[in-house]
Amino acid sequence: MRYVSEVDLKEQFWKMYSKGKTNIIAYQFESKARTGGVDLITVEKVENKDKGGFHIEICSFEFKLDDLEKVYAQAYANTPFCHKSFIVVPANKQKAIKDNYADYYKKYSSIGCIAVEHPEDNGGRYKIFHYAHARSDDQVQVNQEVLKLCCKVL
């Protein structure tokens, strides 16, 4: 089965991504953090690798059914104010991305890729098939809209 709209893709992803997670401190759909908007921004509490405390990561998500060039451009446009930026696509686009966009992984390591199954297929689960490497805090620019999101909760 295939997704008919980006809204359906977004809703299914969020249903599965947010399910049971306690580390999502804040989130906003259709954020005005950049011109044209960001489909989804999350502020997440992440345990440090050394298990000694935690840090905050700002993640962006862009959803697309077809226009892969555009979704990469949007994800890249989010990188100045995010630690990680993800593209989220239907599962049937995973092979096309792996075959045609492998160079992007090397060039833009803070951009990750997520495939979402249709709810009729495999329960609508998602899979991160290319992990994003978090940018360091000194690489992330302050963004007024993201600050407003953080201040609502923190």
pTM over 0.85: yes
The average pLDDT across 27-35 equals 96
pLDDT tens for 70-102 read 999 999 999 999 999 999 999 999 999 999 988
3-state secondary structure of 37: coil
Q: Does 154 have pLDDT greater than 80? A: no
3-state secondary structure of 3: coil
For residue 16, pLDDT over 60 is answered with yes
At residue 1 the predicted structure's pLDDT band, cuts being 50, 70 and 90, is confident
Q: What is the mean pLDDT of residues 122-147?
A: 94
Burial of 120 (0-12, 13-18, 19+ CB in 10 A): exposed
Torsion angle of the four alpha carbons 103, 108, 109, 112, in this order, in degrees rounded to the nearest 10: -90
pLDDT > 70? residue 147: yes
Mean pLDDT, residues 26-43 taken together: 96
Cβ atoms within 10 Å of 115's Cβ, excluding its own: 22
Tell me: the pLDDT tens digits for 58-74? 999 999 999 999 999 99
39 contacts 70 by C-beta, under 8 angstroms: no
What are the backbone dihedrals phi and psi of residue 109, each rounded to the nearest 5 degrees, phi first?
Answer: -70, -15
Q: In 3D, which of 142, 135, 86, 93 has the Cα closest to residue 113?
A: 86
pLDDT reported for residue 111: 97
Listing DSSP states for 90-121 in one string gives EGGGHHHHHHH-HHHHHH-TTEEEEEE--TTT
Domain limits of the chain?
6-153
Can you tell me whether residue 5 is helix, strand or coil?
Answer: coil
Please give the backbone phi and psi of residue 101, each rounded to the nearest 5 degrees, phi first: -125, 20
With cut-offs at 50, 70 and 90, classify the pLDDT of residue 153: low
pLDDT > 70: percent of the chain: 99
How far from chain centre, in Å, is Cα 79? 11
